[in-house]
A and B are shown apart, each in its own frame.
Chain A
Amino acid sequence: MSKVKIATDWLAGCAGCHMSLLDIDDRILPLLELVEFTSSPVTDLKHPPKEGVTVGILEGAICNTHNIEVAKQMRERCQILIAIGDCATFGGVPAMRNLCGTQAALNRAYLETESTVDGLIPDSPELGKPLDEVVGVDKVVKVDLFIPGCPPSADALFYALSELLAGRTPIVLPPQYFKYD
């Protein structure tokens, strides 16, 4: 049997959820017998392969146009999309920006900090354009499974992957793994 292909990527997040994935420790070895991580932000290959993967995992919130592109590409190339972490499920810490507005946040970050000299808000065409509102991944593409938490525990992530490998799709995680506060 060929291995199940998994691709991961991150949006507006802190990489903490990927760290939590690595936190499954030695359980990653038997897992790798069954799955292949085709691409991720921490490997050489960054984009999910064109021929597609079975499971796509996204960390981080949607906060600019680049995030939308990444999320859409992942959605197109995977069968099951998992949003992991509070940012991907609810908007998370980046969504605190919503409380003051994007422009105010940009001004504060790039122009008004006490240490800023000749500040400039980056606007290179290569960069994604900040959105007015930070949202969870499911507001842009369809998400099949939500694993909230900041970060979700390694056990929660391992449980979800094990269930998928066993052919079951958990709708909501059981209470011991379900924690978002």
Chain B
Amino acid sequence: MAKIRVIINGREVLAPLGATVLEAANQAGIDIPTLCHHRALKPIGACRICVVDIKGQRNLQAACAFPISEGMEIETETPRVVAARKLILDMLFSERNHYCPFCEASGDCELQDLGYRYGIDHWVYPTYIREFGLDATRKYFVMEQNRCVLCQRCARACGELVANHTLGLRMRGAESMIHADAEVPFGESTCISCGTCMQVCPTGSLVDRRSSFMGRGDQSESVKSVCNKCSVGCSMQIMTRGGNVLRIESDWDSPVSGGLLCKMGRFDPLYDDRTRVTQPMLRRKGKLEPASWNDALKAIAKRLDDSEAKEIGLLVSGDATNEALYLAGRLFQKEMRAKNVGLISGATPDWIGKQPGTFNDLVGSDMILLVGANPAKDQPVASFLVKRLVDKGMRLVVVDDGENGLAPFAETTLKMADIGKALEMAGEVDRVAVLYGMGLTEKAAKTLKKLGKKAAYVALEPGFNTRAAVTLGMNNGFKASAAKVLYVVLGEQDWDGGKILQEAGEDAFVIAQAGYASTLTDRADVVLPSAIWSERSGSLTNTEGCIQMANRAVEPAGEAKPDWEILSLLADKLGKKLGASFDDISARAAKELK
């Protein structure tokens, strides 16, 4: 892109044509304070904190919204600019309750930072006595209207990023209020609790319930990781303090969704009330008893050694890390030559064949065909991406027999049997993106393949790491009845495989590698406690094939160990060396997944 020359504080800066003054300054390392502006949102120039002096302009201009032009001379911190910023701050502090000592965000607040930066040591204008109310009708976070500065970041995030359009601004001037839908309590609104508004709030107006007053930004540590609630694979930051997880925040540098998270990813992991398995257990004389790692692994190794390859069954969760899947594959399929291997939740049918498509392909398309998938429920962030495009005029056709969360946004909703009609509609446009899921039928797949090169196909896999498991050849028709020794790498997944246990029969030797207690761990002959999302490192492959590293933020509960480490220890007991270290295994897994 063409670059043009501007002069900021006497310094020559080259910036792309079309950039704003703020972008040009940031690029040159010149700090201009902002409040209503957020890097993920479009500028609206509402708060005017970023005003700068531009030669030739009669008034001060908002840097966040003012585009640069060739030779523009900009001053960012003149006495006139500073006086204007102070005036704005004095006015901001005069409205509502910005008294820091009893605010949750104190120490972690952009308004307070500005107060310090510009020496606001008292309130110049009288504040007024008025209760603006606090809305605590939502489960995960509260809206404290008294702390609101009306920057509208929340409402913009809700509309621009999540395309949910729940939040808005009503009334004008001092009467302005952020509200949900037609002024209903937030808990009764169309809010989907993705928490994006809370993440962008610069003050203590939107506050997480679970972690409030538990640690300010600088008192907590942040670990970059990857959400493992669905196959979109959003990056996230796990905030911890003193070895405890406080909350999950999104990561604006995320290569996948650019800083989005949903309720499933941001809140659900912290409200998980399933009982953890924290100790190895071994069935002795019919009774499941606590055991040492050594005894438990020895018992498994002995049993596996004594079994023939065709008696061994391996079931893995699509939520396990690449490393765990790789080791399970190496150990069971290559070393022990077991063929009875399967995925607990299956995968999308492979009738479409290998068609590399990414979420980015949605953007360049003229129409999205959503076939046999319900991302609004299963991969919410993918549904945000679709809704965002629909807002901009993208045509959406939903082909699904069941209830579909995106149906209200589609121009047409068809039954799977009418796939031919979808094909006809796709014929009207140049580029089509096909998002398909578990519900795709063989007939529909054959029809869709007729789209040929004009279509990009993106599968919405169930589970998190299912794509990796499929690539590693783990979805090849598991038969429970053939398994005399059944090894289940369940991890954090819920167990609903009662039928599998029934088919395997009472005599089968069942090994459960699981994070949570379930009917599987009750039935198992050996239980190995596995570490959960916050306690393990490992790479994860999302549904597009993008590999990201999830990092451990806290110590595993009790004696739990990461899945890859458990499999590695088991391999040792079986006398097989499968990898020297985590990095080694990780590199080997990545190589096989390429």
Interface on A for B, CB 8 Å cutoff? 83, 86, 89-93, 95-96, 98-101, 132-133, 135-136, 138-139, 143, 146-148, 150, 171-173, 175, 178, 180-181
Nearest CB in chain B to that of A136: its residue: B122
In the complex, whether B513 has a CB less than 8 A from a CB of chain A is no
Q: Given A96-B102, A99-B97, A180-B115, list of 19 further CB < 8 A pairs?
A: A86-B99, A89-B121, A90-B122, A90-B123, A91-B127, A92-B101, A96-B99, A98-B129, A99-B129, A99-B131, A101-B129, A143-B122, A150-B101, A172-B121, A175-B116, A178-B121, A181-B100, A181-B106, A181-B112
Asked whether, in the complex, the Cβ of A173 is within 8 Å of the Cβ of B100, the reply is no
Asked whether, in the complex, the Cβ of A86 is within 8 Å of the Cβ of B101, the reply is yes
A86 to B102, CA, bound (A): 12
Which B106-131 residues have a C-beta within 8 angstroms of A?
A: 106-107, 112, 115-116, 119, 121-123, 126-127, 129, 131
A180 to B127, CA, bound (A): 17
A93 to B107, CA, bound (A): 18
A101 to B128, CA, bound (A): 12
CB distance from B408 to the nearest CB of A (A): 41
Which B122-170 residues have a C-beta within 8 angstroms of A?
A: 122-123, 126-127, 129, 131, 146
Asked whether, in the complex, the Cβ of B121 is within 8 Å of the Cβ of A180, the reply is yes
Q: Which residues of B contact A99 (CB under 8 A)?
A: 97, 129, 131, 146
Among A90, A93, A135, which residue has the most Cβ atoms of chain B within 10 A?
Answer: A90
Q: Which residues of B contact A172 (CB under 8 A)?
A: 119, 121
With A178-B119, A178-B121, A181-B106 as contacts: A91 and B126 at CB distance below 8 Å: no
Asked whether, in the complex, the Cβ of B121 is within 8 Å of the Cβ of A173, the reply is yes
Nearest CB in chain A to that of B112: its residue: A181
CB distance from B90 to the nearest CB of A (A): 12
A92 to B97, CA, bound (A): 11
Q: Which residues of B contact A101 (CB under 8 A)?
A: 129
A180 to B172, CA, bound (A): 31
Contact of A95 among B99, B103, B122 (CB under 8 A): B99
A175 to B102, CA, bound (A): 21
A91 to B107, CA, bound (A): 20
A101 to B123, CA, bound (A): 20
List the 9 closest A-B pairs by CB distance, nearest first: A172-B119, A181-B100, A146-B121, A181-B106, A146-B122, A89-B122, A98-B129, A148-B121, A133-B129
A150 to B99, CA, bound (A): 12
A41 to B40, CA, bound (A): 54
Interface on B for A, CB 8 Å cutoff? 97, 99-103, 106-107, 112, 115-116, 119, 121-123, 126-127, 129, 131, 146
Asked whether, in the complex, the Cβ of A135 is within 8 Å of the Cβ of B126, the reply is yes
Asked whether, in the complex, the Cβ of A181 is within 8 Å of the Cβ of B121, the reply is no
A172 to B82, CA, bound (A): 14
Nearest CB in chain A to that of B118: its residue: A172
Nearest CB in chain A to that of B132: its residue: A99
Asked whether, in the complex, the Cβ of A91 is within 8 Å of the Cβ of B119, the reply is no
Asked whether, in the complex, the Cβ of B122 is within 8 Å of the Cβ of A138, the reply is yes
Asked whether, in the complex, the Cβ of A91 is within 8 Å of the Cβ of B99, the reply is yes
A91 to B99, CA, bound (A): 9
Among A89, A100, A180, which residue has the most Cβ atoms of chain B within 10 A?
Answer: A180
A143 to B121, CA, bound (A): 12
Asked whether, in the complex, the Cβ of A178 is within 8 Å of the Cβ of B116, the reply is yes
Asked whether, in the complex, the Cβ of A181 is within 8 Å of the Cβ of B126, the reply is no
Q: Which residues of A contact B131 (CB under 8 A)?
A: 99-100
Contact of B123 among A133, A136, A150, A175 (CB under 8 A): A136
Nearest CB in chain B to that of A173: its residue: B121
Ordered by A's residue number, 14 sampled pairs between the chains whose C-beta atoms are within 8 Å are A86-B99, A91-B127, A92-B99, A93-B101, A96-B99, A96-B102, A99-B129, A136-B122, A143-B122, A148-B121, A178-B121, A181-B101, A181-B103, A181-B106
Nearest CB in chain B to that of A148: its residue: B121
Nearest CB in chain B to that of A171: its residue: B119
A86 to B115, CA, bound (A): 14
Among B107, B116, B121, B131, which residue has the most Cβ atoms of chain A within 10 A?
Answer: B121
CB distance from B264 to the nearest CB of A (A): 34
CB distance from A84 to the nearest CB of B (A): 11
Nearest CB in chain A to that of B107: its residue: A181
Q: Which residues of A contact B100 (CB under 8 A)?
A: 180-181
Q: Which residues of B contact A93 (CB under 8 A)?
A: 101
Q: Which residues of A contact B102 (CB under 8 A)?
A: 96
Nearest CB in chain A to that of B121: its residue: A146
A89 to B115, CA, bound (A): 14
Q: Which residues of A contact B99 (CB under 8 A)?
A: 86, 90-92, 95-96
With A91-B99, A96-B102, A181-B107 as contacts: A132 and B129 at CB distance below 8 Å: yes
A139 to B125, CA, bound (A): 9
A83 to B122, CA, bound (A): 10
A180 to B131, CA, bound (A): 23
A132 to B101, CA, bound (A): 22
A92 to B107, CA, bound (A): 17
Q: Which residues of B contact A98 (CB under 8 A)?
A: 127, 129
Q: Which residues of B contact A133 (CB under 8 A)?
A: 129
CB distance from B584 to the nearest CB of A (A): 48
A173 to B106, CA, bound (A): 20
A20 to B449, CA, bound (A): 77
